[in-house]
Amino acid sequence: MAASGRRTGRPTLEEVAARAGVGRGTVSRVINGSPKVSEQAREAVERAVAELGYVPNRAARALAGSRTDAVALVIPETEARLFAEPYFLDIIRGVSGELAAADKQLLLTLIRSDQERQRFEQYLAAQRVDGVLLVSVHADDPLPDQVRALGLPAVLNGRRREDEPVAFVDSDNTGAGRTAVAHLAARGRRRVATITGPLDMYGARCRLDGYREGLAEAGLAPDEALVATGDFTEEGGRRAMRELLDRRPGLDAVFAASDVMAAGARAVLREAGRTVPDDVALVGVDDSAVARLMDPPLTSVRQPIEEMGRTMARLLLAEIAAPSEPGDQPRHMLPTELVVRASS
The 3-class secondary structure across 130-184, one letter per residue, is CEEEECCCCCCCCHHHHHHHCCCCEEEECCCCCCCCCEEEEECHHHHHHHHHHHH
Contact 301, 339 (CB under 8 A): yes
- The confidence score (pLDDT) of residue 279 equals 98
- The confidence score (pLDDT) of residue 71 equals 96
Residue 83 identity: F
| Nearest in space to 203 (alpha carbons), one of 232, 242, 237, 246 | 232
How far is Cα 146 from Cα 162, in angstroms, rounded to an integer?
A: 19
- The confidence score (pLDDT) of residue 26 equals 83
- The confidence score (pLDDT) of residue 128 equals 87
- The confidence score (pLDDT) of residue 33 equals 64
- The confidence score (pLDDT) of residue 34 equals 65
Contact 147, 88 (CB under 8 A): no
Per-residue pLDDT of the chain (344 residues; tens, 9 = 90+): 343 344 446 677 788 889 999 987 788 777 766 666 788 888 898 898 888 887 654 444 444 444 788 999 999 888 888 888 899 999 999 999 999 999 899 999 998 888 888 888 888 888 889 999 999 888 888 899 888 888 899 999 999 999 999 999 999 999 999 999 999 999 999 999 999 999 999 999 999 999 999 999 999 999 999 999 999 999 999 999 999 999 999 999 999 999 999 999 999 999 999 999 999 999 999 999 999 999 999 999 999 999 999 999 999 999 988 887 777 788 999 999 999 999 99
- Beta strand segments in 248-312, E: 253-256, 281-286, 299-302
- The confidence score (pLDDT) of residue 8 equals 45
How far is Cα 248 from Cα 17, in angstroms, rounded to an integer?
A: 61
- The confidence score (pLDDT) of residue 150 equals 86
- The confidence score (pLDDT) of residue 52 equals 85
* Residue 57 backbone phi and psi in degrees, to 5: -60, -45
- The confidence score (pLDDT) of residue 50 equals 83
- The confidence score (pLDDT) of residue 76 equals 86
pTM of the complete model: 0.80
| Nearest in space to 310 (alpha carbons), one of 301, 318, 322, 302 | 318
Contact 325, 163 (CB under 8 A): no
- Cross-strand partners of 256: 195
- The confidence score (pLDDT) of residue 56 equals 55
Strand pairing class (299-302; 337-339):
antiparallel
